[in-house]
Amino acid sequence: MPYKVSHGKAIQVTYSPDEVFARIQHEGIQFIDLQFTGLTGHFHHTTISANTFTPEQMRDGLPKLDGSSIVGFASINDSDLLLKPDPNTFAIIPWMTENKTARLLCDIYWGENRGRLSRDPRGIAQKAEEYIKTQGYDFSTWGPEVEFFVFDKVHWDVLTPYKGQSYSIESKEAPWSQSGDGYPMGLQEGYYPSTPSDTLTPYRNECVNILSQNFGILCDNHHHEVATAGQCEIDIKYDLMTNAADAAQSYKYVIKNVAQKYGKVATMMPKPVAMDAGSGMHVNVSLWKGKENAFFDPDDEIELSQVGRYFCGGIINHAKALSAICNPTTNSYHRLVPGYEAPAYIAWSSGNRSAIVRVPKHLTGKQYSHLKRLEFRAPDPSSNPYLVFAAVTAAGMDGVRKKIDPGEEIRDDIFKMTKSDRSRRGIGVLPKSLGEALDELESDRKFLSPIYTNDVIDKIIELERRDQREIAIRPHPHEFYLYFDV
């Protein structure tokens, strides 16, 4: 749901169908962009004329979707699907000025009153929210930290493997730039540089304004990230699960479209630049009962409750299987290597960024109890946020239900440990490839069953193995091409 700021406070805004139609008329909206997310995380849309949009379509859905043409949705012999708009997601798209256009996010239903499509990612997140309630909690909050690159230009030649394949990246910020009019930054030297080295401050300012003012997505901070060549992060305020996933998808949509306005290209590819930091999507989560954060315990040394430790234990226990959902591309595993800030080892800690799960401890005390959370650092932005949040929920709640201890808190730099030190302290290693991650998911999938159907898990594995085969038969640059537009 969107937010607005009034007198310095964030106020959640909801829209009834009648209010949406009133805004369409009042704002002179000519087109409605119906947007939804596919199983692979790609954003899709179809556009209808506003003057043909009816309350009945808002209520019953629009018969505008061939499910067989969306990867992973439906077979060609049974493919009639409905797009059912969520009025709470109404937003005016500011860069479409000539023919004023608004968007609505949609849920996916079968035709013939056959109910919700089980492979609709938004529906899976909504199912996860309901599951949390059955376990005695009122809701969970989620804060994704989505990193991305903005390049000046990208070129690739991948269609003729027998001739040769290549890609190249242009960025005024990069040490290989030959423009002669910039202030290049070295590999892994991009964290918080001031202007003019940071060339993207005006771009990020515009993204934040559009996210906040048009899409109701509150952003409290933005900055250049560690990598050279235009790595950025814009921080989104935490929210309920489906809302936060909606925000992450809308975020990707906005940054790509604003980049195009600036004559640049933005990508969520986890590791587009070799020998430099990759892009992560750290996921912050907490469970709540009413106004009380179930992860907060004032008497604990790091103020983390037993429930929080069990939730952490579930993530640690299922971390290898989670990789297939949280890191779903072959390129994801170029990021998950030691030395580039991404976690490669399965451990937890407070304030230690070499661990896969971190308990942030910037601010302490009862007045900051709402900030107590777990930060799961493995996911990357090529993943589908709806599926990631639902899978992390399933793992964490499995830990709570079974009282899984997360093990020793590791406060040392894991990257500097020897293999024998890690083995002695029970620190596991994340999968080193997508194939290994999929094998782990196939053998450890039962924890997902309260939220995911077997059909959905099977389809995820099938699609990712397909991409893995596609990469295997072509040289590396094809991987760049395949995952650049994620």
Q: What percent of the chain has pLDDT over 90?
A: 75
Bind-site residues:
145, 147, 220, 225, 233, 282, 335, 341, 353, 375, 377
Superfamily covering domain 132-484: Glutamine synthetase/guanido kinase, catalytic domain (3.30.590.10)
Superfamily designation of domain 3-119: Glutamine synthetase, N-terminal domain (3.10.20.70)
* Feature table: binding site for ATP: 220, 353
> Which pair of structure tokens corresponds to residue 153?
């230009």
Phi, psi dihedrals of residue 213, rounded to the nearest 5° = -80, -35
pLDDT for the residue numbered 244: 96
Residues forming beta bridges with residue 109, ordered by sequence position = 82, 116
Rounded (10°) CA dihedral 219, 224, 230, 236: -20
DSSP tag of 296: B
Closest CA relative to residue 255, chosen from 170, 148, 169: 148
CA distances from 285 to 141, 388, 431 (A): 6, 12, 23
Q: Write out the two tokens for 453.
A: 């159907």
Catalytic: 353?
yes
Q: What is the CA radius of gyration of the chain?
A: 22
**Of residues 414 and 86, which shows the higher confidence score?**
86
Structure tokens belonging to residue 443: 């053998």
The answer to whether residue 436 is catalytic is no
In the annotation, is 147 catalytic? yes
Looking at mean pLDDT, say which of 69-78, 149-158, 389-398, 473-482 comes out highest.
Answer: 389-398
Give 3-state DSSP helix, strand, coil % of the chain, rounded to 5: 35, 25, 40
* Fold match between domain 3-119 and domain 132-484: no
Please tell me which residue, 318 or 481, carries the higher pLDDT value.
318
Q: Which residues contact 162 (CB under 8 A, 6 or more apart)?
A: none
375 given a catalytic annotation = yes
Domain residue extents for the chain: 3-119, 132-484
Mean pLDDT across the chain: 93
Amino acid at 189: E
Residue 24 to residue 92: CA distance in whole angstroms = 9
234 forms beta bridges with 222
User: Nearest to residue 49, comparing CAs of 36, 30, 66, 62?
Assistant: 30
Our answer to whether residue 440 is catalytic in this structure is no
CA distance 95 to 253: 12
Active-site residue, from 375, 440, 467, 479:
375
Active site residue 422: no
pLDDT computed for residue 11 by the predictor:
59
